[in-house]
Structure 1
Amino acid sequence: MMEDQAATAVSSAPPIRVLVVDNDKSHAQAMAETLARVNYDCTVATSGPEGARWIDQDSFDVVITDLVMNEVDGEEILRRAKETLPDCEVIVVTGHASVPKAVEAMQQGAFNFMEKPLTPDRLRAVTAKAADAVRLKKANVDLQQRLDERFGFEGIIYASDQMKAVIERLKRLAPTDASVLITGETGTGKELIAQALHQNSPRKKKPFVALNCAALSEHLLESELFGHVRGAYTDAQTDRVGRFEYAH
């Protein structure tokens, strides 16, 4: 049952869109046909300028481009794809003589390179890895959006003008490095406010570390905040990173 559900989820996901750019028309079509057999949505451009136009006017997950082409070469396709489609992965295809240029292209942001002549297995394997990288990026973006919705200021429900003023002040503080002290009775949402502040700050990709200091003894609090090395006290069996270090 669970396998059937997983298969349905995979089949319902939109196919990975691939742009193949190669001024050798037969080679470009052969690559596209090989990938189409395993359910990639392929578009073929048979020149560098045509590939550049496709990048400017449409959206692709993976771009596979020959490195050596007339007018607009693979390096220009790579540069344009990275500027226009930041989540896209670019794979360059090269002959033996231009391998050093392919390595240079990877230093400029290409995902990988493939050396001619290509085998179908090699083409599918490298493209699959690039597609996985794209899916991971999209999943991270989706997760970040859900975190923003859950822990952002929009996720805080309030009705009073006083609370509205607090939220507006926090929105102004969030982009800064100012230290913020949040006080209030138990159950009034201090940690929720702290999470929202963190989630809307430049530090949101770093850990949010919450610690109930009142629930710890003085000795344990010091260990929690600053960490300890093995043998620092009787029960210290391993090294432990403190909360301050972990948060930074």
Structure 2
Amino acid sequence: MPEQPGDAAAAAASAAPLDVLVIDNDKDHAQAVAESLARIGYRCTVATSGPEGAKLLDDRAFDIIITDLMMAGVDGLEILRRAKENLADVEVILITGHASISSAVAAMQQGAFHYLEKSGIAELRAVTNSAAEKVRLKRANLELNRRLDEKFGFEGVVGASPQMNDVIERLKRIAPTDATVLIQGETGTGKELVAQALHQNSPRKKKAFVALNCAALSENILESELFGHVKGAFTDASADRVGKFEFAHGGTMFLDEVGDMPLPTQIKLLRVLENGEITRVGSNDPIKVNVRIVSATNRNLEDAIEAGTFRSDLYHRLKVVTIRLPRLAERSQDIPLLIDHFTKQFAKRHNKHVRGMSTAARRKFVAYPWPGNVRELRNFVESMVVVDYDGLLDVDDLPSELSDASDAVQTPIAAQQGLASLVGRPLDELERLFILETLNAAAGNREEAAKMLGIGERTLYRKIKDYGV
């Protein structure tokens, strides 16, 4: 099984030796502790006074600090304070021959990992191992997050195709700003996931992300949902109600299907964008809100402006930055990645053990035109996971839409030009084209491409080399 990012990060973190600073004005005890820990793989440095230990802390980084509590000049609590200020992930163990409840409480309140009396070195070694485990876990998590930020920085936005790489790079540039964003794309392309990714990677991520579908509500209900209302504003308004904009204060407001918003509501939304103010239904008192607005639509808003159903000034306010999401058919090489992503997700959700998807079933997925885009693929994979009984998603698990479809892969060449345009071209040229398109459909996975082509991996490798693919 291929090593997962988390496995690699954890392995790297656990393999790295940890640096331990031992500070004790009892030189013999300090040396004995250091020698004992060195025998089990720690890199130890000894300081025989508080000031010497403090200087080492200023000059070098350590993972674990073991310090005597009672020392002249700089005591153990001062070492603890300096360590926590300068080294975010360090763990500090305080040892003393003069234990007291008050000193123990003070040590733990300042973030000490452990506080113990000087006794046998075996106990100290066990505590050090526990501290090391905590340090390694934090290191593994940091490394994993770094790798995920580099490669999968926008959780839920799955794809390695050039089209999706362009989208993700654009998102990385936009996310840290407060610019309003208009996301355009067909139904099911993942517009809300992109909006969530923008929020999660922005300075507003600790505040609320609030989503509302503008097409699902009537004008009056939509305005009440967006702006709230006061008691008595209409027949059923029995109490004041906070709207979505107030709830999203400091965070992000996602307006899905904004192209279906009624014109009177568009005027009120424009005021929010221009002045940062909302007025509850039935009230005349403006309320300041600080909200980033991200909107989405599957409609052509320029056509809506021409038709008089969407305001031009609002359109330009909403589209400071525009992101266009490609149809799944336009990024078919992401299909294998999406299959694997959703298979893992739904196997976990439904408590099923699923090894993967067969080549025959994958052919059906690659050949299907995906009118419902990623949402349709997601639903199909979930259906297959639910009905599967043998741990392998195969053609017998396919929904009827896929099982009845042809599994002849429509390559871009065939789809755009038709097979007739290929007549008369050399066979080796056609073979090269179809190998290239199959590799694209398999997201560059040569093993998967070889299965789809019905040839051995070694044969495929040879042809790739011969054709310079």
Q: Shift of residue 146 of structure 1?
A: 2.3
Q: Could you tell me how far apart the structure 2 residues matched to 1:80 and 1:47 are? A: 15
| Residue 122 of structure 2 corresponds to residue 121 of structure 1 | yes
Aligned match for 2:93, one of 91, 94, 109: 91
Q: Could you tell me how far apart the structure 2 residues matched to 1:85 and 1:93 are? A: 20
Paired residue for 1:134?
135
Paired residue for 2:25?
23
1:148–1:200: 8 Å Cα contact kept in structure 2? no
Q: Could you tell me how far apart the structure 2 residues matched to 1:199 and 1:167 are? A: 11
Cα pair distance change 1:205/1:146, threshold 3 Å:
farther
Counting only pairs closer than 5 Å after superposition, residues 164-243 of structure 1 correspond to structure 2 as: 168-173=173-178, 182-186=183-187, 188-190=189-191, 193-202=194-203
Q: Shift of residue 65 of structure 1?
A: 0.3
- Aligned-residue identity in percent: 64
SS in 2 for 1:86: coil
Cα pair distance change 1:158/1:127, threshold 3 Å:
same
Q: Which moved more, 1:79-88 or 1:98-107?
A: 98-107
Q: Shift of residue 30 of structure 1?
A: 0.8
Aligned match for 1:47, one of 5, 27, 49: 49
Paired residue for 2:337?
none
2:21–2:62: 8 Å Cα contact kept in structure 1? yes
Q: Shift of residue 152 of structure 1?
A: 2.9
Q: Could you tell me how far apart the structure 1 residues matched to 2:87 and 2:14 are? A: 23
CA offsets 1:187-212 (integer angstroms, 9 cap, x no match): 65535523531441357689x9x9xx
Q: Could you tell me how far apart the structure 2 residues matched to 1:23 and 1:114 are? A: 17
Q: Which moved more, 1:119-128 or 1:64-73?
A: 119-128
Paired residue for 1:226?
none
Q: Could you tell me how far apart the structure 2 residues matched to 1:22 and 1:168 are? A: 50
2:177–2:202: 8 Å Cα contact kept in structure 1? no
Give, as a single letter, the amino acid of the residue that structure 1 aligns with 2:166.
Y
Give, as a single letter, the amino acid of the residue that structure 2 aligns with 1:200.
N
Q: Could you tell me how far apart the structure 1 residues matched to 2:206 and 2:40 are? A: 35
TM-score by length of 1: 0.67
Paired residue for 1:158?
166
- Structure with the greater alpha carbon radius of gyration: 2
TM-score by length of 2: 0.37
Cα pair distance change 1:189/1:97, threshold 3 Å:
closer
SS in 1 for 2:102: helix
Q: Shift of residue 16 of structure 1?
A: 1.2
Give, as a single letter, the amino acid of the residue that structure 2 aligns with 1:196.
A
Q: Shift of residue 182 of structure 1?
A: 4.1
1:99–1:115: 8 Å Cα contact kept in structure 2? no
SS in 2 for 1:172: coil
Q: Shift of residue 57 of structure 1?
A: 0.8
Give, as a single letter, the amino acid of the residue that structure 2 aligns with 1:157.
N
CA RMSD of aligned residues (A): 3.7
Q: Could you tell me how far apart the structure 1 residues matched to 2:126 and 2:206 are? A: 31
SS in 2 for 1:114: strand
Q: Which moved more, 1:40-49 or 1:139-148?
A: 139-148
Q: Could you tell me how far apart the structure 1 residues matched to 2:20 and 2:95 are? A: 14
Cα pair distance change 1:13/1:164, threshold 3 Å:
closer
User: What is the number of residues matched between the two proteins?
Assistant: 198
Paired residue for 1:228?
none
SS in 2 for 1:44: strand
Q: Could you tell me how far apart the structure 2 residues matched to 1:34 and 1:13 are? A: 19
